[in-house]
Amino acid sequence: MIEEKTLPYICHVFVCTNDRHGERKSCADGNSSSVLSLLKDAIAEQGWKGRVRVSQSGCLGLCMKGPNVLLYPQKIWFSSVAESDVPDIMKKIELIVAE
Protein backbone atom coordinates (compact mmCIF):
# COMPACT_ATOMS: atom_id res chain seq x y z
CA MET A 1 0.00 0.00 0.00
CA ILE A 2 1.45 3.36 -0.96
CA GLU A 3 2.09 6.07 1.58
CA GLU A 4 1.75 9.76 0.69
CA LYS A 5 3.69 12.45 2.54
CA THR A 6 4.76 16.02 1.94
CA LEU A 7 8.37 16.64 0.98
CA PRO A 8 10.49 16.36 4.15
CA TYR A 9 13.21 18.71 2.85
CA ILE A 10 13.27 22.48 2.45
CA CYS A 11 15.21 21.91 -0.72
CA HIS A 12 16.00 18.79 -2.70
CA VAL A 13 18.98 19.18 -5.00
CA PHE A 14 19.19 16.89 -8.03
CA VAL A 15 22.49 16.57 -9.90
CA CYS A 16 22.39 14.74 -13.21
CA THR A 17 25.27 12.27 -13.43
CA ASN A 18 24.06 10.47 -16.52
CA ASP A 19 26.99 9.15 -18.56
CA ARG A 20 26.67 8.20 -22.21
CA HIS A 21 30.39 7.51 -22.46
CA GLY A 22 30.88 9.91 -25.35
CA GLU A 23 28.20 8.41 -27.60
CA ARG A 24 26.22 11.62 -27.14
CA LYS A 25 26.61 14.62 -24.84
CA SER A 26 25.70 13.91 -21.23
CA CYS A 27 26.19 15.65 -17.91
CA ALA A 28 29.01 13.31 -16.92
CA ASP A 29 31.10 14.92 -19.69
CA GLY A 30 31.27 17.97 -17.44
CA ASN A 31 32.39 16.11 -14.32
CA SER A 32 28.96 16.21 -12.69
CA SER A 33 29.91 13.44 -10.23
CA SER A 34 32.44 15.82 -8.76
CA VAL A 35 29.81 18.59 -8.57
CA LEU A 36 27.57 16.10 -6.73
CA SER A 37 30.32 15.26 -4.21
CA LEU A 38 31.20 18.90 -3.62
CA LEU A 39 27.55 19.80 -3.01
CA LYS A 40 27.07 16.86 -0.63
CA ASP A 41 30.18 17.85 1.34
CA ALA A 42 29.16 21.52 1.44
CA ILE A 43 25.64 20.69 2.66
CA ALA A 44 27.07 18.44 5.40
CA GLU A 45 29.57 21.13 6.38
CA GLN A 46 26.76 23.65 6.79
CA GLY A 47 24.86 21.20 9.01
CA TRP A 48 21.88 21.21 6.64
CA LYS A 49 21.52 17.44 6.38
CA GLY A 50 17.90 16.54 7.01
CA ARG A 51 16.80 19.94 5.67
CA VAL A 52 18.56 19.88 2.31
CA ARG A 53 19.01 16.66 0.39
CA VAL A 54 21.42 16.15 -2.51
CA SER A 55 20.65 13.28 -4.87
CA GLN A 56 22.16 12.15 -8.10
CA SER A 57 19.73 11.87 -10.92
CA GLY A 58 19.52 10.34 -14.35
CA CYS A 59 18.93 12.38 -17.48
CA LEU A 60 16.83 15.49 -16.91
CA GLY A 61 16.33 16.22 -20.60
CA LEU A 62 18.59 19.22 -21.22
CA CYS A 63 21.72 17.21 -21.96
CA MET A 64 23.19 19.75 -24.38
CA LYS A 65 23.27 22.31 -21.56
CA GLY A 66 24.70 19.99 -18.93
CA PRO A 67 25.80 19.47 -16.31
CA ASN A 68 22.38 20.27 -14.90
CA VAL A 69 21.46 20.85 -11.24
CA LEU A 70 17.88 21.38 -10.06
CA LEU A 71 16.50 22.72 -6.80
CA TYR A 72 13.03 21.55 -5.79
CA PRO A 73 10.42 22.63 -4.94
CA GLN A 74 11.92 26.03 -5.82
CA LYS A 75 11.99 25.15 -9.55
CA ILE A 76 15.50 26.55 -9.96
CA TRP A 77 17.55 25.07 -12.77
CA PHE A 78 21.30 25.56 -13.18
CA SER A 79 22.90 24.54 -16.48
CA SER A 80 26.51 24.34 -17.65
CA VAL A 81 27.52 23.82 -14.03
CA ALA A 82 31.20 23.39 -13.20
CA GLU A 83 32.85 22.53 -9.89
CA SER A 84 33.75 26.21 -9.54
CA ASP A 85 30.01 27.07 -9.54
CA VAL A 86 29.30 25.13 -6.34
CA PRO A 87 29.82 28.20 -4.09
CA ASP A 88 27.20 30.15 -6.12
CA ILE A 89 24.73 27.25 -5.86
CA MET A 90 25.40 27.11 -2.12
CA LYS A 91 24.63 30.84 -1.83
CA LYS A 92 21.28 30.20 -3.47
CA ILE A 93 20.56 27.27 -1.14
CA GLU A 94 21.57 29.42 1.83
CA LEU A 95 18.89 31.96 0.87
CA ILE A 96 16.33 29.16 0.62
CA VAL A 97 17.30 27.74 4.02
CA ALA A 98 17.12 31.21 5.58
CA GLU A 99 13.54 31.86 4.31
Interacting residues toward ligand FES by CB under 6 A: 16, 18, 26-27, 59-63, 66, 68
State which residue, 57 or 74, has the beta carbon closest to ligand FES: 57
- Taking the complex as a whole, the smallest distance from the CB of residue 10 to ligand FES amounts, in Å, to 24
From residue 45, alpha-carbon distances to 6, 21, 37, 68 in Å are 26, 32, 12, 22
State which residue, 16 or 90, has the beta carbon closest to ligand FES: 16
State which residue, 27 or 38, has the beta carbon closest to ligand FES: 27
